[in-house]
Amino acid sequence: MDTSTIPGFGLGVRSLVKTMEVAALPDDVWAAWTSNEGITSWWGPAAVNIELRIGGAYEILFSLDPPEGERGSEGCRVLAYVPGESLSFTWNAPPHLPLRSSNTWVVLSFDDAGSGRTAVRLVHTGFLDGPDWDDYMAYFDSAWGYVLDLLRDHWS
């Protein structure tokens, strides 16, 4: 798998951390992030292409109207996963940001919170320093909160 589009590495990268508890079992929440049907059921994007294997596609397309390469997470890949527990994938900036071609990565973990609930932890990392990186990070600070709200509301 080509990781040359990921410029961040080592201890110098910055991260966003979001947490949310949802009213579902960890296996169900994990399945909601790891299949085309799962993502579609709660996020509702225009199209999804998830191949659950190391190096497999992790593409969520938010609109089919823009030209190819500007529709969503095209080209993003599964980095690692532990069934029922965690998922990691590369991620890209939206087309309006200058760092569109510089990937970061997301690590999700799903822990049993008891009483049929799951604690979801999302870490979006690989952000470097500089104004363009600040814009990239600020965009996802808001966007991931919205996404996790959709996930929570799916099981409300």
67 has pLDDT over 90:
no
Per-residue model confidence as pLDDT tens digits over 15-54:
999 999 999 999 999 999 999 999 999 999 999 999 999 9
Predicted model pTM: 0.94
CATH number at residue 66: 3.30.530.20
Using H for helix, E for strand and C for coil, what is the string for 83-144? CCCEEEEEECCCCCCCCCCCCEEEEEEEEEEECCEEEEEEEEEEECCCHHHHHHHHHHHHHH
Q: Which residue segment(s) compose the domain that 62 sits in? A: 14-154
Q: Does residue 3 belong to any structural domain of this protein?
A: no
What total of structural domains would you count in the chain? 1
Per-residue pLDDT, averaged over 78-86, amounts to 97
* Whether the Cβ atoms of residue 108 and residue 121 lie closer than 8 Å to each other: yes
